[in-house]
Amino acid sequence: MIILVINCGSSSIKYQLLDMKSDDVYDLLAKGIVEKIGLPCGNITHKPTGKEKMEKEVRIEDHKVGMKLVLDALVDPVHGVLSSFDDIEAVGHRIVQGADFFSGSALVDEDVIAKIEICCDFAPLHNPAHLLGIRAVQHVLPSVPQVVTFDTAYHQTMPDYAYMYALPYEYYEKYRVRRYGAHGTSHQFVAYKGARFVGLDIDNSKIITCHIGNGSSISAIVNGKVVDTSMGFTPLEGMIMGTRCGNVDPNVVPYIMKKENLTPDQMTEIMNRKSGFLGLSGLSSDARDLDAAANAGNYRAKLVFKKLAYDIIKIVGSYIAVMDGVDAIFFTAGIGENNARLRRRVCENFSYMGLKFDFEANVTQGKDTLLSTPDSKVKVALITTDEELVIARDTMRLVSAVEE
């Protein structure tokens, strides 16, 4: 089944075209990104497998125009990989927030769209853009079925005492204020793939997945089900991230707002886009830049990495307590897959519970690798994530079920 996987942002559309032969056998036909939608000059970068990359600068008024650009690239006589739009059998979308409406992926209909619309309140930067993407596909490919996969769905198994905040209960009832988590597709994929990789039975396992990228979250997973995760009502809660502050004493927020005379929107912007690695270092939100600065002796860049490791250790430690032990710890995403020093710093703190780290194996980057020694009580592994593959699998499953 040829499936177009879409991840729509407010000004961008990331896409992958996959030919799914089965859950595990597939070809990536093309991938790319449309950027700067709505700005005076946008661009598309299209990378077809086995063919030359295409880059084009063009004004892109809205998501419909952006989606048409993607489809045109896919059937382009030189850079294309399809002979016609009709070859696309289904479209799968990544959706950031599905709140407690969705505990799994869903076929798009008007009811599903209405629920995603309600969730816009909790993910104002993301969900409206996802809806634009769904509407744009309805416009350009009206007869193609669409499926939505939610970042929050996998976390719906959290118990009430883990997802509730100790705020007056009425805010939960009136406004659905509770913890939802994020990156669920990645945590699920990595937990299952990692369990297979290290030889654990997922139905009888205690796993901690560390998704450490630009956005970062950690999950505690018992027998394949999430019991806690570090992100909360929004992806701001938890550990330090590229531009997000993670946990702060909530009283800090009104204090700074009063001192600096800031509106709620301005403060939200600061906590989401100007904090984290960027805010603390004053240099960059990118771990590679900060690695270089830290190696050159920059105090604040070093502080970022110390805090990053410290936050991970605290959360992993608390999840070991919550689960009464751990069988495996998996590292994934841009930093988790590539930063050996960080993985070492974290794992060194768990020797007390019989984790024996394989320092030599740890030099690897970006490929599934066992990072614990054979006699280690806790398995550690680098497990690469692939959220698009999960979306494509779910899309294939739901669309095939309808067709049968």
- Binding site residues, ligand ADP, CB under 6 A: 213-215, 242, 286-288, 333-335, 338-339, 365
CA 198, CA 303: separation in Å to the nearest integer? 33
**Which residue has 């063919």 as its token pair?**
51
Nearer to ligand ADP, 79 or 93 (CB): 93
Q: State both tokens at 31.
A: 């991938």
CB of 332 to ligand ADP, least distance (A): 8
Residue by residue, DSSP assigns 32-50 as EEEE-TTSSSEEEEEEETT
**Which pairing describes strands 90-95 and 146-150: parallel, antiparallel, or unpaired?**
parallel
CB atoms within 10 A of CB 227: 18
Choose between 32 and 213: whose C-beta lies nearer to ligand ADP: 213
Which CB sits closer to ligand ADP, 216 or 395? 216
Of all residues in this chain, which one has the CB nearest to ligand ADP in the complex?
334
Contacts of 121 (CB under 8 A, 6+ apart): 175
Q: Are 24 and 10 in contact (CB under 8 A)?
A: no
Q: What is the largest CA-CA distance in the chain?
A: 62
Give whichever of 76 and 286 is closer to ligand ADP, judged by the CB atom. Answer: 286
Which of 23, 76, 86, 151 is labelled catalytic?
151
What is the edge-to-edge ordering of all strands in the sheet holding 13-20? Answer: 54-58, 42-48, 26-35, 13-20, 2-8, 90-95, 146-150, 106-107
**CB 147 → ligand ADP: shortest distance, Å?**
21
Smallest gap from residue 353 Cβ to ligand ADP (A): 28
Tokens coding 136: 């744009």
- CB 302 → ligand ADP: shortest distance, Å? 16
Tell me if 401 sits within 8 A of 102, measured CB to CB.
no
**Pair of tokens at residue 161:** 């005492």
Return the closest-CA partner of residue 235 out of 157, 325, 150, 111.
Answer: 150
The smaller minimum CB distance to ligand ADP, of residues 156 and 339, is found at 339
Whichever of 74 and 342 has its CB closer to ligand ADP, that residue is 342
Smallest distance, Å, CB 384 to ligand ADP?
Answer: 10
* Shortest CB 345 distance to ligand ADP, Å: 14
Q: In this structure, which amino acid lies at residue 145?
A: P
The two tokens of residue 386 are 């692939």
47 vs 397, beta carbon nearer ligand ADP = 47
At 208 the three-state DSSP class reads: strand
| Residue 151 phi, psi dihedral angles, 5° rounding | -65, -25
CB 3 within 8 A of CB 397: no
**151: annotated active-site residue:** yes
The CB-of-339 to ligand ADP minimum distance in angstroms stands at 5
58 SS3 class: strand
Catalytic positions are 151
